[in-house]
């Protein structure tokens, strides 16, 4: 699967966002090593703290279906679903990704419906705390 194809899946996932409080819609598409793709979107809550990000929804869906080996993730978002630059994963999602992915894990960041930037998890979370640190 190409980066652009994964980005398009993330864009479609973004449309399902439940974000009545921020109006920020986010979509994620997580590609497993076996070719399966798990999508996620942000889901907000009136009590705020139960809110969860698109990236974690995708990862947790995959984990709960028994998948733990991931190739890359595409993330896209914007106010009212208008993609106008990168919507980078928050710190919590970076740490969740680090639980299952190595430093060279690729993150495709949508800049528009056509353009994107590819970075690594190490770019976003250098000197990370990983499972190797507690084993």
Active site residues: 55
9 or 57: whose CB is closer to Zn ion?
57
Task: Choose between 1 and 90: whose C-beta lies nearer to Zn ion.
Answer: 90
Burial code (b: 16+ CB inside 10 Å, e: under 16) for 31-57 equals: bbeeeebbbbbbbbeeeeeeebbbbbb
In whole angstroms, how close is the CB of 26 to Zn ion at the nearest point? 8
Footprint on this chain of Zn ion (rule: CB under 5 A):
53, 90, 93
**Smallest separation, CB 132 to Zn ion (Å):** 22
d(CA 73, CA 84): 19
Give the residue at shortest CB distance from Zn ion.
53
Distance CA 75, CA 70 (A): 14
Place of tokens 């819609």: 25
Nearer CB in complex with Zn ion: 53/124: 53
Contact predicate 41/30, CB 8 Å: no
CB of residue 52 to Zn ion, shortest distance in Å: 8
């Amino acid at each position: 699967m190409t980066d652009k194809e994964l980005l398009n899946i993330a864009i479609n996932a973004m449309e399902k966002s439940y974000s009545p409080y921020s109006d920020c819609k986010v979509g994620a598409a997580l590609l497993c090593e076996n070719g399966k793709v798990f999508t996620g979107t942000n889901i907000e809550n009136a009590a705020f703290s139960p809110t969860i990000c698109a990236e974690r929804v995708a990862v947790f869906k995959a984990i709960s279906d028994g998948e733990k080996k991931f190739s890359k993730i595409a993330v896209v978002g914007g106010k009212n679903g208008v993609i106008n630059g990168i919507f980078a994963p928050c710190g919590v999602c970076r740490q969740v990704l680090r639980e299952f992915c190595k430093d060279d894990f690729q993150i495709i960041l949508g800049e528009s419906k056509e353009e994107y930037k590819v970075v690594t998890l190490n770019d976003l979370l250098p000197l990370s705390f990983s499972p190797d640190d507690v084993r």
